[in-house]
């Protein structure tokens, strides 16, 4: 069977292809009556970015592009596809991406001066998981009574995860194969059993503590002369602290855990008499993504400032 080889495109061909695509996006703005076109990683990101842009610039209209054609002709999404347009951005065409570790590693030219918006947290999901936001979602979804303190839970979660996050970032530059990101991500997948909400999530936190301490001891034995404290100090200057590092671990795992806990709380609330208000017919996730805590923490404030900066670069 003859299989056609994948076509090879030169750098110049790729450059010209994405330059022309960006030109079309800008030309189409008049048809949409939009302030700017914003290429997102995928359709799921639109809920978050629409809230940010509406808050930062209420009078603006933005056209979201959630996927675009790759040079091979496929409809493509993701961060890599967004960054294909990096050289062709201006006041009419931006990209908006999850930071992953780009912010913590201070990757150059990922900033509003280059018309790139980033979450500053690992991903947009971390913003919805901001402790005060989750508590508000619980009040709205579970009958107006706070039985589980997510601010406290996420603070304790952060204290547990923090040493392992520092090791992850440290080993990226020393021995990246020793602690791949996918291994770290798997450690953060936590079951949410029948007793998960008892004692403010104590059983969930205990399992996380056992996992992280085991890995930290492993790396201490493997690298007895390592000193990741220099990276800890660097992270601190970027806003990563022992009490908030849940904002900088992979948001997808954290978001799933919060949704699982919230759904269980909502189900339990249905059996509690005399709640201040009825248990919501809406899902916990609906309430979680209905708002963001603008002005309440630095990462979201910086993101709003970036929108203002990009708008002023005209």
Is 16 part of any domain? Answer: yes
CA distance 137 to 285: 8
Q: Are residues 152 and 266 in the same domain?
A: yes
Q: Are residues 159 and 241 in the same domain?
A: yes
Q: Average pLDDT for consecutive 10-residue bins of the chain (314 residues)?
A: 65 95 94 94 97 97 96 94 97 97 94 97 98 98 97 98 94 90 95 95 98 96 88 90 97 97 97 93 97 97 97 70
Output the pLDDT for position 3: 53
Q: Are residues 187 and 230 in the same domain?
A: yes
Q: Are residues 175 and 224 in the same domain?
A: yes
Q: Are residues 226 and 108 in the same domain?
A: no
Is 297 part of any domain? Answer: no
Q: In terms of residues, how long is the chain?
A: 314
pTM over 0.85: yes
Q: Are residues 215 and 119 in the same domain?
A: no
Q: What is the DSSP string of 65-121?
A: E--EE-TTS-EE-SHHHHHTTGGG-BTTEEEEE--TTTTTTT-TT-SGGGTEEE-SS
Is 155 part of any domain? Answer: yes
3-state helix, strand, coil in the chain (%, to 5): 55, 5, 40
Q: Are residues 57 and 112 in the same domain?
A: yes
Q: Are residues 63 and 176 in the same domain?
A: no
Q: Are residues 211 and 86 in the same domain?
A: no
Is 53 part of any domain? Answer: yes
Query: What's the Cα-to-Cα distance from 99 to each of 123, 124, 221, rounded to whole Å?
Result: 6, 9, 31
Q: Are residues 190 and 162 in the same domain?
A: yes
Quote the domain boundaries for residue 74. Answer: 11-123+306-312
Indicate the number of domains in the chain: 2
Output the pLDDT for position 174: 85
Is 107 part of any domain? Answer: yes
């Amino acid at each position: 069977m003859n299989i056609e080889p994948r076509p090879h495109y030169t750098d110049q061909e790729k450059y010209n292809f994405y330059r022309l695509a960006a030109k079309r996006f800008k030309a189409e703005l008049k048809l949409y009556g939009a302030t700017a076109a914003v290429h997102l990683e995928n359709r799921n990101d639109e809920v978050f970015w629409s809230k940010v842009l509406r808050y930062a610039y209420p009078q603006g209209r933005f056209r979201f592009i959630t996927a675009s054609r790759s040079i091979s002709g496929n409809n493509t999404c993701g961060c890599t596809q967004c960054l294909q347009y990096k050289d062709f951005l201006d006041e009419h065409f931006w990209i908006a991406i999850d930071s992953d570790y780009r912010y913590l590693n201070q990757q150059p030219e990922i900033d509003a001066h280059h018309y790139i918006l980033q979450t500053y947290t690992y991903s947009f999901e971390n913003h919805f998981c901001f402790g005060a936001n989750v508590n508000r979602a619980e009040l709205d979804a579970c009958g107006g009574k706070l039985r589980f303190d997510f601010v406290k839970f996420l603070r304790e979660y952060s204290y547990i995860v923090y040493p392992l996050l520092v090791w992850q970032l440290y080993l990226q530059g020393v021995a990246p194969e020793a602690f791949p990101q996918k291994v770290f991500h798997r450690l953060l997948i936590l079951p949410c059993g029948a007793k998960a909400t008892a004692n403010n999530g104590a059983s969930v936190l205990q399992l996380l503590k056992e996992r992280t301490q085991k890995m930290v001891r492993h790396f201490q034995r493997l690298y007895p002369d390592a000193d990741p404290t220099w990276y800890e100090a660097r992270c601190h200057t970027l806003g990563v602290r022992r009490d908030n590092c849940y904002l900088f671990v992979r948001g997808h795992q954290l978001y799933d855990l919060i949704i699982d806990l919230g759904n269980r709380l909502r189900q339990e609330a249905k059996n509690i008499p005399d709640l201040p208000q009825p248990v919501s017919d809406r899902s916990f996730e609906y309430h979680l993504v209905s708002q963001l805590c603008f002005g309440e923490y630095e990462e979201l404030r910086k993101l709003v400032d970036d929108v203002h900066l990009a708008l002023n670069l005209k």
